[in-house]
Amino acid sequence: MTVKQRWQISPPHPEADKLARDAHIPQPLAELLLARGISTTAEAHIFLNPAADQLHSPALMLGMDAGVERIERAIANNEPILLYGDYDVDGTTAVVLLKTAIEMLGGTVRFHVPHRIREGYGLQSSVLEEARAAGIRLVVTVDTGMRACAEAETARRIGLDLIITDHHLPSASDPLPYCAAILNPNQPGCGYPEKSLCGAAIAFKLAQALLENHESHRRDPSRLREKILPSFLKMAAIATIADAVPLRGENRVIAFLGLRELRRPAAAGLRALFQAAALDPASKAITSFDIAFRIAPRINAAGRMDIASEVIELFTTRDVNRARDLANKLEALNRQRRDAEASALAEIERRLAEDAELKDAPLLVVDGEGWHRGIIGILASRVVERTAKPAFVVSVEDGVAHGSGRSVDGFPLLEALESCAPLFTRFGGHAFAVGFALPAERLTELKRGLVAHAHEKLANREPEHLLRIHAELPLERITPVLAGWLRRLEPLGHGNQEPVFVARGVRVLNAPRIMKERHVRVDLASGPATMRCVGWDWAARCAAHGLKQGSVIDLAYKIRENDHPDYGGIEVEIAGIEIPR
């Protein structure tokens, strides 16, 4: 399925030349910094040089003093503490962070990570009651709990103290949960400067406060600052990148410093996971791309396909053999996830190709009997990538339809679900991602309602992929020096996107060479410069554009540094092609 690509090109910034001169940086980098709201030399220096002194004090977070005091009291009184997490990367790494910190200070920690299928997301009153019966007096949530008012009331009723650490937005209409402390920069009255921390980063701030407040570290703050806290940033960086929070401000610092620490993974679990993912940080530095597309999927596979609690064991065990076994299990689960995803996606693509009603619909609802509920969110994302339409993928099992949705710019998904609210037994989410459940017999009615809502909201709008291009840059201006400067933008990700440039009037020097039936390599010329170019999944599109030797194109591209021993060096990767008129 071919979807139109529309280019949105940022105009040159009038202050780019001045910032380039004042900050002694290349003009293309100045353009990119200004697009990120960075307009002074001082701001540019801070952005390009992330450092530990740019991390905010945890004491600035509302509730931190009360949370630290209650945990310290539990440690002093030998009270076991239950950490209640979530089953994704953010939740499991947050448990690892707090578990490690509390145990370093002499505390006793137990943890509970819910099973995605059997328990679902969030605090469960039944688990709290079981914990109380087992002698727990303090529960600390990580990456969950902000809307758990009923469960917090259960905790209060049965004599459990509750500390909530979470980054999700509180309910606009409901009161905050009753508990000993809430740590969430987004709660009313919190003056913490960074509002977009992920759950594990908030757990890191709590761990930092606990460690800084301990007598031994007050006597030797340099050891804490230089040795101990950097080791905690590994987990925080993995979660920050995996959870797709904006990589700006403190998040950028956490990701940058954590990736630097990941070059030297000391823990048995990290080393085993890197080995399973075929990553060797000793020979090549771990990047945000490695975390997002190689490490995070393996961690998430546990929660999607099996039991996420084994992730915590992986990251906390000191047994090299056990770590290897657990990492291999994650690898096997990730293969299962990929196989299940590929099978369901093939069926979805067949329906999209054959079903005229789906082809013409402004919004897609695709259901399947027994599709694994752990992958329906991924499948919805894949459908959006292929069609540029809002998409819901639904798994039907035992008479219940469980759905997950992903959206496009300008179509808020939660609003779409609210238009069909009476049909659901539960639903929630936000503008771009939602989940829901309803009786399977209501699925046809749901499809009608969602499509009708989409017809109203997306009237006369053609599906298209928007390619945001950050600056014009002729190929002849690409040099190893410029590529080195652009690396200073890393780590790249949500909120700090990889730059896409456009070069006009580029000449194709040879017929595109097809690789593995899907990809292409081609040599390009622009002015006096020639450049190698690669296009991943671009074979069919290059053929559709009629690309051949001598063709002249406008090329949207990303700069790449190929480290292959035979043909390494600077090259460009195709992001888009237009034929000039």
- pLDDT per residue, tens digit, the chain (581 aa), is 567 888 999 999 999 999 999 999 999 999 999 999 999 999 999 999 999 999 999 999 999 999 999 999 999 999 999 999 987 898 999 999 999 999 999 999 999 988 765 766 678 899 999 999 999 999 999 988 888 888 999 999 999 999 999 988 776 677 899 999 999 999 999 999 999 999 999 999 999 999 998 877 677 777 778 788 889 999 999 999 998 899 999 999 999 999 999 998 889 999 999 999 999 998 889 999 999 999 999 998 887 777 788 899 999 999 999 999 999 999 999 999 999 999 999 999 999 999 988 888 999 999 999 898 889 999 999 999 999 999 999 999 889 999 999 999 889 998 999 999 999 998 877 778 888 999 999 999 999 999 999 999 987 788 888 899 999 999 999 999 999 999 999 999 989 999 999 999 999 999 999 999 899 999 999 988 899 999 999 999 999 999 999 999 999 999 998 877 666 789 999 999 999 98
CA 230, 324, 322, 239 torsion-angle sign: positive
d(CA 139, CA 165): 11
Written as six digits, the tokens of 264 are: 């030297």
Evaluate whether 555 touches 502 at the Cβ level (below 8 Å): yes
Evaluate whether 104 touches 143 at the Cβ level (below 8 Å): no
d(CA 174, CA 147): 8
d(CA 434, CA 446): 14
Helices 229-242 & 296-305, crossing angle to 10 degrees?
70
Evaluate whether 98 touches 202 at the Cβ level (below 8 Å): no
Q: Measured at the alpha carbon of residue 61, what is the angle toward residues 57 and 66, in degrees to the nearest 5?
A: 110
Structure pTM?
A: 0.90
d(CA 123, CA 204): 21
d(CA 454, CA 446): 12
- Sequence length of the chain is 581
Residue 467: its pLDDT value, please? 92
